[in-house]
């Protein structure tokens, strides 16, 4: 059996995936792999894949699954992901899910898929209060997880509200989620990998429940984290 751990976090935007992924990084010793962060890195550094993605943006077209898949595959091959990864925002559809299965097959595949359950009205409240560090991408919430001051607690960077988090875009984001990502619930349920997490709980309560779900899957690092 492989020692690598691969988690896929599912749930609507604002359900708490990003915050829990950050906390799990410390508990499990594996990195959060966010598609948003991957795209920003490739675009900023004008990598080959970044330039390819930019060419689609310039034409007003969606970036094909193949490009996204290649970016994620390259990220999972980096040294800090040698023991696995916490995937947040990938896969977004069945094509990407099947590609991820192929990427991780040699290491035992996906271990567990925590799914964060949350009502749409609460999702809206959470998204519109979100702020992100422009420098290190750390995520805060003005009500539920505020920074200590006006700047990022980790690096002192500027905090801003992403266009995707503004009220006028939230409903569209939910529509896209239900249309594209919801089929993944059935996909992973059929594989016996889904574990439901109550997204309406506090950050600490969600973390406790999540670690218990992971421990039930015999993920050793999670067991030690629960007992710590």
Give me the active site residues, please: 17, 92, 130, 162, 173
Q: How far apart are CA 123 and CA 16, in angstroms?
A: 9
Give CA angle at 107 (101, 109), nearest 5°.
Answer: 30
Task: Note whether 222 and 126 are within 8 A (CB).
Answer: no
Residues 111, 113, 119: CA angle, nearest 5 degrees: 170
Taking each helix axis as running N to C, give the angle between helix 65-76 and helix 35-44, from 0 to 180 degrees, rounded to the nearest 10.
90
* Sign of the C-alpha dihedral computed for residues 163, 169, 174 and 180 taken in this order: negative
């Amino acid at each position: 059996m492989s020692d690598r751990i691969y988690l896929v976090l599912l749930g609507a935007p604002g359900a708490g995936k990003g915050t829990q992924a950050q906390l799990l990084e410390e508990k499990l010793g594996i990195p959060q792999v966010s598609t948003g962060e991957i795209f920003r890195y490739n675009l900023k550094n004008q990598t080959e894949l970044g330039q390819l993605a930019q060419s689609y943006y310039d034409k007003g077209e969606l970036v094909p699954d193949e490009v996204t898949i290649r970016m994620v595959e390259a990220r999972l091959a980096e040294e800090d992901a040698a023991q696995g990864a916490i995937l947040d925002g990938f896969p977004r559809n069945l094509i990407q899910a099947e590609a991820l299965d192929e990427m991780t097959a040699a290491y035992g595949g996906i271990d567990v898929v925590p799914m964060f359950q949350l009502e749409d009205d609460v999702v809206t409240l959470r998204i519109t209060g979100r702020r992100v560090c422009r420098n290190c991408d750390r995520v805060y919430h003005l009500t539920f997880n505020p920074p200590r001051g006006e700047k990022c607690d980790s690096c002192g960077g500027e905090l801003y509200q992403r266009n995707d988090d503004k009220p006028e875009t939230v409903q569209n984001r939910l529509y896209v989620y239900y249309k594209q990502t919801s089929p993944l619930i059935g996909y992973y349920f059929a594989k016996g990998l889904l574990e439901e997490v109550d997204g309406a709980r506090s950050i600490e309560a969600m973390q406790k429940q999540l670690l218990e779900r992971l421990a039930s899957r015999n993920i050793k690092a999670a067991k030690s984290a629960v007992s710590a």
